[in-house]
Structure 1
Amino acid sequence: MNTARGSSPSARPVSKARPGAGTKGIPRARREEQILAAAMDEFGRHGHAAASMAEIARRVGVTKPMLYTYFGSKDGLYLACLERVAPRLVAAIEEAMADGRPEAEAPHRVLSAVFGVLEEQRGAWSVLYDRTLKPGTDLHAAADRHRRTIDDLAASGTADLLRGHGNEDPLDADALKYVWTGTVGALVGWWTHHPDQSAHDMAARCARLLAAIRS
């Protein structure tokens, strides 16, 4: 469904199920958790455009109509996934940046925070940075709003880092922001291809890489 044509992606039809009731004896809240986990992986792997509602339903063990009962539409399910991960990422990054320790340690703190949030749902990063979302749609606008928040945090952090070295050049700060955001995305991408590596493993690896760069 193209949300740009005026249909609200977050609208859900009223379910006839009893409050709190799920399917096959599973509480509704638990079933929603299962659907969101499967959808996060499906959207992360294939993007919104190619993601299959039938595959999500199959993995959860429910029917496609049940997905629509719970989330209204494919767009509604994507938005639920987006709103599940983006605020957590923003909060974790903000906390890492406000840690109070030296600015030089901030890059490692932020990376560790990102890995911690994504530990159980590594595809969530690809949901947030889904390239298949069409500009001009409600979905693209929602994702872009969260991306800009994270981008603003990156801009603030890189400027502070350079300022700590006596560099106030705004173009240097902007260039470093691009380097940083690309690096984070690349590291998360590498991590998704190495499922044996935990968040702790990645944090330790990044500490070694950053130390090597600084030396």
Structure 2
Amino acid sequence: MTTPQSRAGTKGMPRAERERQLLAAATEEFGRHGYEATTVAAVAARVGVTKPLLHQYFGSKQDLYLACLTPVGDGLLDAVRTAMAAHGPGAPPTPLRVLHGLFTALEGRRDAWFVLYDATLPPGSVAARRAASYRAAVDDLAATGTAELLHGAGFDDPLDADALTYAWRGLATALVRWWIHHPEQTPEAMTERCARLFAAGRAIVAADGP
């Protein structure tokens, strides 16, 4: 008996599985090369399907990008929200919880961070607006967290909080970029490394005085 076309992909593979393969390949292509340099042909070739089949599944290149962006953006937001809510006695500091949540969410698809933070998206496009909305939501969470940290340390200048939010985004991006080049590093190892770096930073500042 043959499998109905509506329920299977090429070569008898179930359509849902083929779609997962295509999304995984597209996420990596967009994350590594950026929207502008990524082609539908390259994504199709990686999975061994034709361009028409990929278009049949996902539509245009922008539609394919959006199909990749949504699970990435939702996953990162969920990770940050969960980490920020997990405070309590004995819990690691908020920055380490958030970083561990991000590393865990990105494990197996580390390049996905750069699907969200893609500078090559066409200005004013649906893709650019959707990515910007996710980034704004991440920034809102970061702003809340940094304001709380500064307030707890006795600093309430809103510009300090704003500056720290920008610095935090840059730090997270830099750490993910370093992590991509060190595939042997697990999310747990990365979190431990960040804890050591933060401790070293505090020691350096304390040694230099106010």
- TM-score, length-normalised on structure 1? 0.88
Q: Is the 8 A contact 1:104 1:161 kept in 2?
A: no
The structure with the largest helix share of the pair is 2
Amino acid in structure 1 at the alignment position of 2:56: T
Match of 1:88 among 58, 68, 75: 75
* 1:180 maps to 2:176: no
Q: Distance in 2 between matches of 1:64 and 1:196?
A: 34
Q: Distance in 2 between matches of 1:19 and 1:214?
A: 59
**How far is 1:20 from its partner?**
2.4
Q: Distance in 1 between matches of 2:19 and 2:198?
A: 39
* 1:157 maps to 2:134: no
Q: Is the 8 A contact 1:38 1:56 kept in 2?
A: yes
**How far is 1:104 from its partner?**
7.2
Per-residue deviation, residues 53-75 of structure 1 (Å, max 9, x unmatched): 11211111111111100000111
Identity over aligned pairs, percent: 56
Q: Which has the higher contact order (CA 8 A, sep 6+)?
A: 1
Per-residue deviation, residues 145-175 of structure 1 (Å, max 9, x unmatched): 0000001011110000001112111111111
Q: Distance in 2 between matches of 1:143 and 1:24?
A: 34
Match of 1:198 among 164, 171, 186: 186
Amino acid in structure 1 at the alignment position of 2:141: L
Aligned length: 199
User: Which range moved further: 205-214 or 43-52?
Assistant: 205-214
Which runs of 5 or more residues in structure 2 are unaligned? Answer: 204-210
Name the residue aligned to 2:206. none
- TM-score, length-normalised on structure 2? 0.91
The runs of 4+ residues in structure 1 deviating greater than 6 Å are none
User: 3-state SS of the aligned residue for 2:93?
Assistant: helix
Name the residue aligned to 1:167. 155
Q: Is the 8 A contact 1:40 1:127 kept in 2?
A: yes
Per-residue deviation, residues 31-50 of structure 1 (Å, max 9, x unmatched): 01000110011111111111
Name the residue aligned to 1:128. 116
Amino acid in structure 1 at the alignment position of 2:46: R
Amino acid in structure 2 at the alignment position of 1:105: P
Which runs of 5 or more residues in structure 1 are unaligned? Answer: 1-16
